[in-house]
């Protein structure tokens, strides 16, 4: 018998964190202006000991004022979407659940756009609207997915996909009828894009909100393991199912909402990453959640680096990269599940 130990958990997460760090260095290096890795590591060291002022200004501008914030945003968004995906998968007992596939991302996007139209003067209005949009969408999809009192996997996914295209259509309508908005920027944002930085005043709210959401889902990970074997079994084993479901429902919606209001609807990360983590590390949620957070961060940092460099000096939205990788995997999982 080899149960999960704290030791194995820490070693795995430590290894993944090191991998993430390597990806961050790589992402800082690559771009329209090439920078050598040795310089970069030395400079990172200089910043760490508080001597950032010694660096040349133009270089500091590119690497640490443009690339680094974008990478940090990518880390937060990737972690949030992956953990939200893993959370939705347990909540709905469906391995294909993901904020994007379920339409939650589109719901959050519509929510934030509507909020922006109604009250553009408040900074907090976008994430708040996104949260309401996310929570309403998942509730709607959940009820669409019920057939005869049971949650039906296929109906649930159809409900999500239909909601997503419905919301996208409304967003398109709003964007076209509202004059004076940056249409290309909006299209990028809809696809999922990291090029717009989070407004300075909101950065703390984002970071704290995302970490709190991930922490809340992680605190239920032992319960989620049991919930996956069945709701009835979980109750008989002593799980407070109502509380656990509420925590995961609210937290996963919050994570999706924050990620979407910062970077638009980046698709398939919440599906791909937990799936890959399960292949390598098994499906114990106590390991799956932190490993998914780290791998999600790695995935987005790499995908965004690719998006910045493949057609350099032009950029692709990062959501285009994740969709190119994610859609085939989704189809593969769906076919395998239908067998």
Partner 1 sequence: MSANDTFAPTLGRRELSQDGESSLRLNVAQASYAYSPSAQSAPTFTLSATSFQAREREIVAILGPNASGKSTLLRLISGMIAPLSGRVELDGVETSRLDVRTRAQKIAVVHQESPSVYPARAGDFVLQGRYPYGRALRFAKQEDIEVARNALARVGAEHLANRMMDELSGGEKQRIILARALAQQPRLVLLDEPTLHLDIGAQVELLERLRQLAHENRYTVVVVTHELGLAAEFADQVVLLQHGRCLRVGSPATVYQKELLEQVFEAPLDVELGPAGRPRVNLRARRSEEIT
Report if residue 332 touches partner 1, rule: CB under 8 A: no
State the Cα–Cα distance between residues 287 and 85, nearest whole angstrom: 15
Choice from 176, 230, 246, 331 touching partner 1 (CB under 8 A): 230
Stretch near partner 1 under the rule CB under 8 A, chosen from 107-115, 156-164, 182-190, 221-229? 221-229
Asked if 168 and 190 count as a contact pair (C-beta separation under 8 A), the reply is yes
Q: Which of 12, 89, 106, 292 binds partner 1 (CB under 8 A)?
A: 89
Closer of 154 and 168 to partner 1 (Cβ): 154
Q: Cα 268 to the chain's mean position, in Å? A: 9
**Which residues touch 318 (CB under 8 Å, ≥6 apart)?**
74, 192, 193, 194, 263, 266, 300, 303, 304, 307
197 burial class (0-12, 13-18, 19+ CB within 10 angstroms)?
Answer: middle
For residue 332 the two structure tokens come to 């593969």
The nearer residue to partner 1, 125 or 214, going by C-beta atoms, is 214
Report the residue from 105, 112, 137, 225 that binds partner 1 according to the rule CB under 8 A: 225
> What is the per-residue DSSP string for 186-221?
HHHHHH----SPPPGGGHHHHHHHHHHHHHHHHHTH
Q: Binding to partner 1 by residue 46, rule CB under 8 A?
A: no
- Compute CA 65 distance to the chain's CA centroid, rounded to the nearest angstrom: 23
Q: Is 251 in the site for partner 1 (CB under 8 A)?
A: no
Would you count residue 21 as binding partner 1 (CB under 8 A)? no
- For residue 1, the minimal CB distance to partner 1 (Å) is 4
Task: Please give the Cα distance from 216 to 218 (Å, whole number).
Answer: 5
| Alpha carbon of residue 206 to chain centroid | 13
Using the rule CB under 8 A, give the single segment among 33-41, 87-95, 261-269, 293-301 that binds partner 1. 87-95
Complex with partner 1: residue 196 or 283, whichever CB lies closer: 283
- Binding footprint of partner 1, residue count (CB under 8 A): 31
Q: Contact positions toward partner 1, by CB under 8 A?
A: 1-6, 89-90, 93-95, 219, 221-222, 225-226, 228-230, 232-233, 235-240, 278, 283-284, 286
């Amino acid at each position: 018998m080899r149960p999960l130990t704290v030791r194995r958990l820490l070693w795995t997460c430590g290894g993944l964190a090191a991998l993430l760090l390597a990806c961050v260095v790589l992402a800082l290096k690559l771009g329209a202006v090439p920078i050598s890795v040795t310089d970069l590591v030395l400079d990172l060291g200089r910043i760490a000991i508080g001597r950032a002022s010694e660096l040349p200004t133009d270089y500091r501008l590119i690497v640490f004022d443009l690339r680094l914030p974008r990478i940090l945003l990518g880390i937060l968004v990737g972690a949030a979407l992956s953990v939200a995906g893993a959370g939705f998968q347990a909540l709905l007992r469906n391995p294909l659940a993901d904020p994007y596939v379920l339409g939650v991302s589109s719901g959050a996007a519509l929510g934030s756009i509507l909020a922006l139209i109604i009250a553009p003067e408040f900074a907090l209005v976008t994430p708040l609207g996104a949260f309401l949009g996310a929570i309403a969408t998942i509730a709607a999809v959940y009820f669409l997915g019920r057939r005869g009192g049971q949650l039906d996997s296929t109906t649930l996914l159809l409900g999500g996909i239909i909601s997503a295209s419905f919301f996208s259509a409304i967003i398109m309508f709003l964007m076209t009828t509202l004059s004076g908005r940056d249409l290309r920027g909006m299209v990028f944002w809809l696809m999922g894009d990291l090029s717009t930085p989070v407004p300075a005043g909101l950065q703390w709210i984002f970071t704290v909100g995302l970490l709190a959401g991930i922490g809340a889902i992680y605190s239920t990970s032992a319960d989620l393991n049991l919930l996956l074997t069945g709701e009835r079994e979980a109750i008989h084993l002593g799980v407070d199912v109502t509380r656990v479901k509420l925590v995961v429902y609210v937290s996963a919606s919050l994570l999706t909402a924050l990620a979407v209001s910062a970077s638009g609807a980046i698709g398939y990360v919440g599906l791909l990453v937990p799936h890959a983590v399960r292949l390598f590390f098994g499906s114990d949620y106590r390991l799956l959640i932190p490993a998914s957070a780290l791998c999600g961060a790695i995935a987005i940092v790499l995908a965004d680096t690719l998006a910045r460099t493949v057609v350099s000096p032009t950029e692709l939205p990062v959501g285009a990269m994740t969709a190119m990788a994610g859609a085939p995997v989704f189809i593969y999982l769906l076919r395998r599940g239908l067998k």
